[in-house]
Amino acid sequence: MRRAPRARSTCLRPSTGLGLRPAIVENESGAKLHRPELFRLLSDCEPGDVLLVEQVDWLSRFTSPDWIKLRNLLDTKQVRIVALDLPTSWILTAPTDEFTGRMFAAVNAMMLDVLAAVARKDYEDRRRRQAEGTAKAKAAGLYKGRPENKTRNAAMSSLLRDGRSWRDIMDATGCSRTLLAKIARDRRRQAEADAAIRAAESDVHP
């Protein structure tokens, strides 16, 4: 799994001179269309802007319908995708005549579609192999699940208690929105359980 701060620094190094707007850091899964920061960024984009990403699969592990939705949005906004691992996209950052620009845009679009299909297949293959391995481990009594990062989870819970925003917490800890939602849900349940215990004790000892 890539760490968002590292990906940010990787993208910023070769981008000198592009007139970048503030970079965003997002910890959501690249396989889901629920990408609040990505869509916030796209809503601020203007025609001709470049969306610079570290790797193509950050954008392309979607299902086919979701990929089409994103591509249509990018086309509507006239946003160009440039990925560090897709050399054909680099030409989109340089000024060219109309014919050359259209030719490279078409080639880049075709490459993105191909890589999107490959990235999705790779994602599904890895998920399938993982599920098969988990099933075998469970059958053999060896499966223990992913170990909990208790230190990070405690820090997230503390930040929630202090009233920090979810965005601040995700940026500070590198956690996903899904994990943060689970921690927040667990905190609510614990608070409800504690309240129920206090209420029961007050009934016993008025």
pLDDT in tens, 114-137: 888 888 888 889 889 988 988 888
Are residues 114 and 87 located together in one domain of the fold?
Answer: yes
Find out whether 45 and 51 touch, Cβ atoms under 8 Å. yes
Helices (H) and strands (E) in the chain, counts: 8, 2
Distance CA 183, CA 187 (A): 6
Q: Are residues 34 and 122 in the same domain?
A: yes
In whole angstroms, give the CA distance from residue 91 to residue 67: 23
Which of 114, 139, 164 delimits the end of a domain?
A: 139
Residue 197 lies in a domain: yes
Burial of 61 (0-12, 13-18, 19+ CB in 10 A): buried
Spatial contact of 188 and 194, defined as CB atoms under 8 Å apart: no
Same domain, 67 and 167: no
In a domain, 176, yes or no: yes
Element spanning 105, H or E:
helix 98-139
pTM over 0.85: no
Unique residue bearing structure tokens 């499966």:
143
Ranges of the chain whose pLDDT falls below 70 = 1-30, 92-95, 197, 200-206
- In the chain, where does DSSP find H-type helix? 4-12, 36-44, 57-60, 64-77, 98-139, 150-161, 166-173, 177-204
Amino acid identity of 94?
A
Q: Which stretch of DSSP H or E encloses residue 93?
A: none
pLDDT at position 183 is 92
Q: What is the pLDDT of residues 187-197, one digit of tens each?
A: 888 888 777 76
Give the amino acid at 42: L
What is the CA angle 163-168-170, rounded to 5?
115
Query: Residue 26: helix, strand or coil by DSSP?
Result: coil
pLDDT given for residue 3 in this prediction: 41
Q: How far apart are CA 36 and CA 77, in angstroms?
A: 17
Domain containing 165: what range? 150-204
What amino acid occupies position 89? S
- Are 175 and 129 in a shared domain? no
How many domains does the chain divide into? Answer: 2
